[in-house]
Amino acid sequence: MAILTPLAFLVPVTVVERILLLGTLLLVLIVELLNSSVEAAVDRISLERHGLSKRAKDFGSAAVMLALVLCGGTWLAIAGPPVLGWLRALAG
């Protein structure tokens, strides 16, 4: 995230594409916060192992993974071509 946020402003893309790049980063942070809150609430209720507690935590982790996949795909589709162009120019 610390690298991608400034990169979103350096990559030559349209305003809408820049909003998508930054929006997907923000989505990952939001989903991660929600996942952390679910885990904290489940742990607060009981530290004993329970099937429903495991499912709640697994669903939260799955939501974070889906947000990361969406973020990665968006970045590859939008920022990938300009970054590859930069790398090719550097390579010679």
To the question of whether residue 18 is assigned a binding role by annotation, the answer is yes
DSSP state of 79: T
pLDDT at 46 over 90: no
- Answer yes or no: are the C-beta atoms of 35 and 67 closer than 8 Å: no
Give the model's confidence band at 48: pLDDT under 50 very low, under 70 low, under 90 confident, else very high: confident
To the question of whether residue 17 is assigned a binding role by annotation, the answer is no
To the question of whether residue 49 is assigned a binding role by annotation, the answer is yes
Q: pTM, whole model, 2 decimals?
A: 0.88
Active site residue 17: no
User: Between the CA of residue 35 and those of 18, 27, 45, 79, 80, what are the distances in Å?
Assistant: 26, 12, 16, 27, 29
Active-site pick, 22, 27, 32, 83: 32
What's the whole-number mean pLDDT along residues 38-60? 91
CA 77, 78, 83, 85 torsion-angle sign? positive
To the question of whether residue 37 is assigned a binding role by annotation, the answer is no
What's the whole-number mean pLDDT along residues 28-56? 93
